[in-house]
Amino acid sequence: MDTVRYLDDDGKPLRDIPLSEEELLSGYRALRRARHFDERALVLQRQGRLGVYPPFRGQEAAQVGVALCLEPSRDWLLPSYRETAAAITFGMPLSKLILSWRADPAGWGAPPEVNMVQFYIPIATQVPQAAGVAHALRLQGKDAVAAVFIGDGGTSEGDFHEGLNFASVFDAPLLVVVQNNGWAISVPTQKQMKVQRIALKAQGYGIPGVTVDGNDLVAVWTVARKAAARARAGEGPTLIEALTYRVAPHTSSDDPGRYRTEDEAEAWKKRDPIDRMRGCLLHLGLWDEEKERALSEELEAEFLTAVEEADQASEPRPWEIVEQVYAEMQPDQQAAWQYLHGGEA
Amino acid sequence: MIVERGTRVINLVQAVNEALDLALERDPRVVLFGEDVGKMGGVFRASDGLQPKYGEKRVFDTPLAESGIVGFAIGMAMAGLRPVAEIQFAGFLYPALDQILSHLGRMRHRTRGRFTIPLVIRAPYGGGVKTPEQHADSPEAILCHVPGVKVIIPSSPERAKGLLLAAIEDPDPVFFLEAIKLYRGVKAEVPEGYYTLPIGKARVVREGNAATLIAYGGMVEVCQKAAEVAAHEGVELEVIDAETLVPLDTPTLVESVAKTGRAVVVYEAMRTGGFGAEIAARLAEEALDYLEAPVVRVAGWDAPYPPFSAVENFYRPDAKRVLEAVRRVLMY
Ligand SMILES: Cc1ncc(C[n+]2csc(CCOP(=O)(O)OP(=O)(O)O)c2C)c(N)n1
């Protein structure tokens, strides 16, 4: 099975790039935006201003490339905890994401114009749900697709298979994106499964499976765009395997030194998706130092504003924990609400 | 039997079928699916005739995968439809518990109301009809322990129809368990046309003053039988159908115990950790002043429900065991 690539490890185009100059520039910007958030989020985490945070460093292109094909008010995104980069690109406000990783109720849920379901924490449960979302969109005659993300480890769960089977049987307009980053916490892919390529699993469901260089934004974008077009045309789901690497630790409380070598991570850093994309722009004469500096400043300003906004969110109030359990509070929530409210109704 | 104008005598599965038919007719967002619900009309014929009437887009068969069915239904509900999913037997909900516990009950809460799940999951449950292994399980206590869902177990055709229609209209996820024993075991007058009954109400099905029997689903019939026997001996038992387990109508239960001073809770799931324990605990918390005896539970034994044979009768509570418990609370 081939791996779809458009850029070499330095970003030099290997063949004709099916994207406009404008698209290439906006793609690079989206990558840098995601990276900037990730770097700064880790700092906030170390300052105790975020809770446990799952960084995505190294996996930006695999997420951004898919999100760039989606329309947030029309299409749907069902991400796992690893997909903050996809969420940013899909239109989630940065302040909301900061609150979300603070586990602050104010950060739970997306604004009405963004069809993103809150990050899924249990592994693989989102896949059958995404199939259902996609099928419902189709039944309602909407020109919309859903995209669901999962890790290589997650493909071992039963729900991954039930979800793929449902999506394929019902020709649901769904993109199933597996970020194969080589590891499920400390367990390497070789101990997770016998198959070499996760994309091969698509054959078991009679749907197309593609392996793409997940650190090549042009490749991910192109593959996802094709899968989305297929889905919109009513031809059903596609399984996309993005080969990438989690350069960062599994979460802010993980120590990767216990299970992998520094050499391995170093080798992947040489294939960094952002460096490669910048290489591509430089090669095409679309980028320079000046633009890079301006972008950095813009992103930092945007991030600082978002932190300020997040800091201004009102403190969670005790009684919020029994709100939104039901559409209307039932007697047991009412009693708890009253107690948490200090007796005042 | 006298049939009034506007009602007919039908059984519980026919009542469910009518409710599904009316819901599909009334709301284009309603979709019905599960294993064998389409052409076959469901293993108990609850969806009989609905696929030809509403087409394969609205009434359809799914692959045989319970987690898939519930997860798929959750997604459909979030995306704007009103799915009614059938699980062939409640004992086969277990593969879907991940979806139920991880998301069904908490999606509204974890997204602050941005995504909600107006979904009904129907499943036949309970014994008394000699089914194979695992077909008679009563997993209601597991479901009641999920925050954010409602759990309804009707005990008559008339209640089943109105409550199922209310469940489909309800904005929250609802489990609707139907006692297999009652599907064809009881017939009653059921109003024609569309009507809903309030969720979260218990009802007094027989009045009495000596003690209160509290039950739901298939056990209401057993309690009524016990009450009839007791009445021959001059003991008037009150029988209450809890009907909605979540949210539970505690005030109605307390009110009855205030009158009778004694309570027996009857359910056919395993005794330990069963929903009857919840009812007993609530009475201890809220009705202790009225109680003249401890609340006694009559339930299945702490063992797996036995498959299709005579031993089923040793497991499932019957009128005799209920009356033994009544004697205990009366003699305390
Ligand atoms: C059902 C479930 N089991 C276990 C966990 C704990 N857990 C969190 S992340 C993880 C590994 C996931 O690896 P993978 O699917 O490859 O995704 P990645 O973290 O690499 O993005 C595990 C075991 C969980 N969140 N959910």
Residue A14's H or E segment, with its range, is none
Q: Is the pLDDT of residue B5 over 70?
A: no
pLDDT confidence bin for B4, thresholds 50/70/90: low
Q: Would residue B135 show up in a list of annotated catalytic residues for this protein?
A: yes
Query: What gap in Å lies between CA A240 and CA A217, rounded to an integer?
Result: 14
A106-113's contacts with Cβ under 8 Å and 24+ in sequence apart are A106/A313, A106/A314, A106/A316, A107/A310, A107/A313, A108/B110, A108/B111, A108/B112, A109/B110, A109/B111, A109/B112, A109/B113, A109/B114, A109/B115, A110/B111, A110/B114, A112/B114, A113/A72, A113/A73
- Of A246, A271, A276, A278, which is the active-site residue? A246
Determine the residue type at B284.
A
Inform me whether the pLDDT recorded for B49 exceeds 50. Answer: yes
Q: Which three-class secondary structure state does DSSP give residue A246?
A: coil
pLDDT at A153: 97
pLDDT at B2 over 90: no
User: Which of B279, B17, B10 has the alpha carbon at shortest distance from B156?
Assistant: B10
What pLDDT, on the 0 to 100 scale, is given for residue A211? 98
A249 lines ligand 1 (CB under 6 A): no
B interface residues, A as partner, C-beta within 8 Å: 31, 57, 62-63, 65, 67-68, 70-81, 83, 95, 98-99, 102-103, 107-116, 147-148, 150, 170-172, 200, 246-247, 250
Among A231, A216, A228, A223, smallest CA distance to A168 is for A231
Q: Residue A52: CB within 6 Å of ligand 1?
A: no
Least confident of B158-167, B247-256, B310-319: B310-319
Cβ–Cβ below 8 Å for B75 and A129: yes
pLDDT value of residue A1: 76
**Spatial contact of A117 and B102, defined as CB atoms under 8 Å apart:** no
Give dist(CA A255, CA A228) in Å, integer. Answer: 37
pLDDT higher than threshold 70 for residue B1: no
Q: Assess contact for B78 and B84: CB atoms under 8 A.
A: no
pTM summary value: 0.95
Q: Which of A35, A40, A138, A250 is catalytic?
A: A250
Taking CB atoms and an 8 Å cutoff, what residues of chain A touch B103? 122, 125, 129
Q: What secondary structure does DSSP assign to B83-102, as a single string?
A: EEEE-SSGGG-GGGHHHIII
Residues A244 and B198: their CA atoms lie apart, in Å, by: 54
Rounded distance between C-alpha atoms, residue A286 and residue A190, angstroms: 40
Point out the residues of chain A with pLDDT beneath 70: 344-345
